[in-house]
Amino acid sequence: MRFRTMTAALLPLAMAPAASAQDGSLLVFDYSGFENPAYHSAYVEQHGDSPDFTFFGDEEEAFQKLVSGFRADVSHVCAGSVTKWRDSGLIEPWDTSRIDAYGDLDANLTGSDVSSGSEEIYFVPTDFGSTAIAYNTEQVPEDAVQSLDVFLNPDYAGRLTLPDNVDDAYALAYLATGTTDWQDVTDEQFEAATDWLRQAHENLRTYWIDPAELAQLLATGEVMVAWAWNETLPTMVEQGFPVGFEREPEEGSSLWLCGYVNLADGEGSEDLAYDYLNAILDPSSTQPLLDEGFGHANAAAMAEVGEEALRDVGLGQIDAPVLAQLPISNEQRERHSEAFERIKAGF
């Protein structure tokens, strides 16, 4: 199963046999697991095989590799990194007239601000998921998770966990303190969220790194409540674990968003880059993505999926606030990162 960019991954950097793609080929810089041909079956049908892939552990590793001169053609990133990559000159705009399903994309995932105010489109969303409260239904009553302040509840001290990830942590903290749009927060909103995270830190057993670790923490009973990605729900259900996934606490839940950027210095085929993006967005990719717990940005294709199937993977409709983790300024992200590191260090 793919681990999102917003984690420290377990796998080391694995380079493809070629250092860069050449004209007539395509090199995709991606998360391990996303090379699954089912996610781009239309590309395979068109060209007879998948493109070449090379993998990164997390987005900072990918960023540093690219600024150091490594060349690929397209890269998978999450929305929070778009502004930094654009401002660093690593990416160039997509031509949306060449993206077949662009008009079918979920407007909540593209919006007018997905490229932080730029009229050019540097990021095309392809996959998304929700982050909410996962909990042991045999140990934690349902009414205890009707507020995000469960993470401050002394009754669960030492049995709570948050992601070791600044974006997910601050999405939670902003929601918990009444902010549902983090793209233009005030100093007061930032300080309130930071203070809330500092209080939550005192209650935690640990910060989880990846979904496998979180599943283990829940299964062994080390933790009873977690701020978790929706893929935790089907994973734990499959294991027979009594898991609940509360996306409708009174303050709401968050939505993470990933997609592809067009790397400016790629040496491969631009035509193949669009073929690959079109394949990822094709309706044939919807079910394979859902099978792994990922929503598909193609809203028209997702509309064909029954609500029950979406609820089973934690992506059904909800009646609660949602904070979309859209791009924020480099300055704000650095501010989050610095404060989060200090909190984890006990300051």
CA separation for the pair 126, 34 (Å, rounded) = 12
| Other Cβ atoms closer than 10 A to 271 | 12
Kindly report the length of the chain: 347
Q: What is the pLDDT of residue 23?
A: 57
Domain ranges (residues) in the chain: 27-128+256-318, 129-254+325-344
User: How many angstroms separate the Cα of 183 from the Cα of each of 83, 170, 190, 279, 329?
Assistant: 12, 12, 11, 30, 8
Can 27-128+256-318 and 129-254+325-344 be said to share one CATH topology?
Answer: yes
CATH architecture of the region 27-128+256-318: 3-Layer(aba) Sandwich (3.40)
Residue 204 sits at φ, ψ, to 5 deg, of -80, 150
- pLDDT digit of tens for each residue in the chain (347 aa)? 344 443 333 333 333 434 444 557 999 999 988 999 999 999 999 999 999 999 998 888 999 999 999 999 999 999 888 989 999 999 999 999 999 999 999 887 875 444 444 578 999 999 999 999 999 999 999 999 999 999 999 999 999 999 998 999 999 999 999 999 998 899 999 999 999 999 999 999 999 988 899 999 999 999 999 999 998 998 899 999 999 999 999 999 999 999 999 999 999 999 999 999 999 999 999 999 998 889 999 999 999 998 999 998 999 888 999 999 988 888 998 999 999 999 999 98
Q: What is the pLDDT of residue 338?
A: 96
Tell me which residue has tokens 């890269």. 75
Residue ranges with strand state E in the chain: 27-31, 52-56, 74-78, 91-92, 124-136, 160-163, 204-208, 225-229, 243-246, 253-263, 295-296, 322-324
CATH of domain 129-254+325-344: 3.40.190.10
